[in-house]
Chain A
Amino acid sequence: MPEIVQIGPYRPQLLEPERFELVVENNKIIDANIELGYVHRGIEKLFTTKTYMQNLALAERICGICSGVHTLCYAQTAEGVIDVTVPDRARYLRCIYMEIERLHSHYLWFGVVTHSLHENNAFLKIMGEREHVQDLLEYLTGNRINYLINTIGGVRRDITSPKTERIQKVMDNMKALSNYLLALLDENGSLTKKTEGVGILPKDKALDLGAVGPTLRGSGIESDVRKDDPYAAYGELDFEVITEEDGDVRAKSLVRARETLESIKIIEQALDNLPSGEIATKPGEPLEKEEVGRAEAPRGELVYYIKSNGTNIPERVKVRTPSFANDFTLIEMLRGDLLQNARIIIESIDPCFACTDRLTVLDTKAGKKRRMILK
């Protein structure tokens, strides 16, 4: 007899609340349902009450983990409705800041996953090393998270010596961390055992369901906004779009681990080829116009839409975050898998963190609820 298992909405480890309802029979997941809204803050409405500049701070608080790419995508889209040209130096600096962000985000994901899988040594090692990236972000921008480095017309802080040397030093350390992650995922790696064959998202389903980012690339599809629709200076930098064929949790992990090495490559190149000049242009007046912009966030394609009525307050701002696109692929991945894998599957899409510690088991026949802790 099938029973309904509830996951969330509050899981304490990390993360935002979200509720999943799984229909389970003999420990196997037959169907799944997702309920969102525990973090809803009415942001799109708030966008229409603030000026274009003030909205930068709001955009970055949609997600504290990929806060930088939100300001970038917002700024790029706003630059389409406001009269302004971004200087070359700023375009390169944007790539550097955004790739440092991708590093911290991907490393954090490994931190969360190793924490969930009770790989305590790996967790401490990853999070400990990741601190170098956080310190670097704080040193470059003035804050560890919500660094508000992008602005309409460029960036707010320059990178010159001794910052350049510090970045280089941290990158050297991070190469070692990325290789450590790859080792966790090689044939005998401790993560491989726990993630291989789990939560498979086949290629066709990934496409049908509109997956983005590492979730999509882990199913063998080469798609990355940085390559497909280059922005900032990505069109001038050499890097590879990482894909893996298997579609399971291990494949998605491998994509992220290998991507960190690509990010380091991008940062080093951008530093070497940094054009001279200004880091920002003063924005002109907003025009009566609409614009759509996109960028590759650590979790995948991020889309902004802005409608301007010519005043300094946008008339409409619409945001499509990558996690929203990926959330629905979870249903496919969960179906047919084992209940004990639910948590790692949910985390595999990096849904700005899943929420899976607390389970309420609903006995559909007796109508009783039973609570379980997933540890």
Chain B
Amino acid sequence: MSGKTSIYRFMSAGCNGCDVQILECLVPRYKLADLGVEVVFTPEEANVLAITGGINVKGREELKKAYEKLKPPKLVVAVGNCAITKEIFDKGYPMVGPPDQIIPVNFYISGCPPRPQAIVTAVAKALGATLEEKEEYWATPEGFRGKHEFDSEKCMGCGACAQVCSSDAIDVLEDNGKRFIKVDYGHCSFCAFCQDECPTEAIKLTKEYHMLTDNRNTANVTNEVDLFKCASCGTYFIPARQVEWALQRIENEVSEYKDFHRNLRTAMELCHTCRRKISNIRNAKKLLSQLSPKVRAV
């Protein structure tokens, strides 16, 4: 983009955090001015629109108006996860966004909020400029809660992370004998509850904070595990590793059940539907007899 870049910030229905980060970008340390970028006060003066927040009923028309007034090339940047997916406010009743449902959006900067460093770097990238990345302040400290990473050796696909997730950012999908744990980090509040709750410490929030994309469907990290087939009816129903993990835990923690181990395994290899079919002893015997020749002798 040639000429001066003038950004107008528009906010509706976010927490204000992203707005503060944009203000912080004006501090010389972040070198926003070095890129020839200024923040202006009216949409008429601007050629770039930075949106924060997920847009509610009251903000919708205002957003359209602001977009119309923008000077060419009318670049629109969604700053922060609210502006990408409405994040934690997704199911809020006054919400009508995300913004790209209302006006065209060119770039998405993920984060909650994105660091000023991420915003400035994203702006530079969008402008085709390069920034010096030497200074220590571009680095993230230990313990930073950034983009997720799976340890595919450890993840057993149990979906505990999806259950505790504060922002409905994790989907558990199944297809053709596989289970996918999909973290939509554009929908994530970076609370790290998933990391805290994961029984096998398989999911981690890393120090990576550059999460710029022009296609919001790419803002995710996915892990894949194999599913196990029901020993009776043959449908896929539970991750194979989860069965092993559960049995191992029973063996370690309640060793008095050790003797039942084989029976437990047999029971766990049945899907819910098949288990529910057991309504009386005769049923149970019939089912078990299909599975194990030993039962027949009983």
Binding site for B on A (CB under 8 A): 9-17, 37-43, 45-46, 49-51, 53-58, 60-65, 67, 108, 111-112, 115, 124, 127-128, 131, 134-135, 138-139, 141-146, 148, 157, 352-353, 357-358, 373, 375
B67 within 8 A of partner (CB): no
Q: How far is the CA of A12 from the CA of B40 in the complex (A)?
A: 7
Residue-by-residue, is B188-203 near A (CB-CB < 8 Å gives 1, otherwise 0)?
0111110000000000
User: A70: nearest residue on chain B (CB-CB)?
Assistant: B15
Q: Which B residues from 103 to 158 make CB contacts under 8 A with A?
A: 112-113, 115, 137, 140-141, 143-145
Query: Are B93 and A45 in touch, CB under 8 angstroms?
Result: yes
Count residues of chain B with CB under 8 A from any CB of chain A.
58
Q: Could you write out 18 A-B pairs with CB less than 8 Å apart? A: A12-B10, A17-B62, A38-B59, A41-B89, A42-B94, A46-B89, A53-B164, A56-B166, A61-B89, A62-B15, A64-B18, A142-B192, A145-B21, A146-B15, A148-B192, A157-B143, A353-B19, A357-B42
Shortest Cβ distance from A157 into chain B, in angstroms? 7
Tell me whether B23 and A14 are in contact (CB under 8 A). yes
Q: Does B41 lie at the interface of the complex (its beta carbon under 8 Å from any beta carbon of A)? A: yes
In the complex, the chain A residue whose C-beta lies closest to that of B145 is A142
Q: Whole-angstrom distance between the alpha carbons of A149 and B17 in the complex?
A: 16
In the bound assembly, the distance between CA atoms of A157 and B143 in angstroms comes to: 10
- B100 located at the interface, meaning its Cβ lies under 8 Å from any Cβ of chain A in the complex: no
Q: Please give me the 5 A-B residue pairs with the lowest Cβ-Cβ distance, nearest first.
A: A64-B17, A42-B92, A57-B166, A64-B15, A145-B17
Which of B17, B53, B141, B165 has its CB near the most chain A CB atoms (within 10 A)?
Answer: B17
Of the candidates B11, B15, B165, B192, which one forms a contact with A61 in the assembled complex, judged by CB atoms under 8 Å apart? B15
Q: Are A15 and B93 in contact (CB under 8 A)?
A: no
Which of A45, A55, A144 has the most C-beta atoms of chain B within 10 angstroms of its own C-beta?
A144
Q: Which of the listed residues B20, B91, B140, B191 has the most CB atoms from chain A within 10 Å of its own CB?
A: B20
A373 CA to B41 CA, complexed, in Å: 8
Tell me whether A128 and B16 are in contact (CB under 8 A).
Answer: no
Q: How many A-B residue pairs have CB under 8 A?
A: 176
B9 part of interface (Cβ distance < 8 Å): yes
A38-B56 CB under 8 A given contacts A58-B88, A358-B42: yes
Closest beta carbon of chain B to A186's beta carbon, Å = 25
A14 with B113: CB separation less than 8 A: no
Contact A143 B190 (CB under 8 A): yes
Closest to B63 in A: A10
Contact B28 A145 (CB under 8 A): no
Closest B residue to A104 by beta carbon equals: B20
What's the least CB distance linking B85 to chain A, in Å?
A: 14
Contact of A146 with B12 in the complex, beta carbons under 8 Å: no
Contacts of B270 in A (CB 8 A): none
B20 interface neighbour in A14, A45, A115, Cβ under 8 Å: A14
In the bound complex, residues from chain B placing their C-beta under 8 Å from that of A138 are 115, 140-141, 144
Residues of A within 8 A of B192 (CB): 142, 148
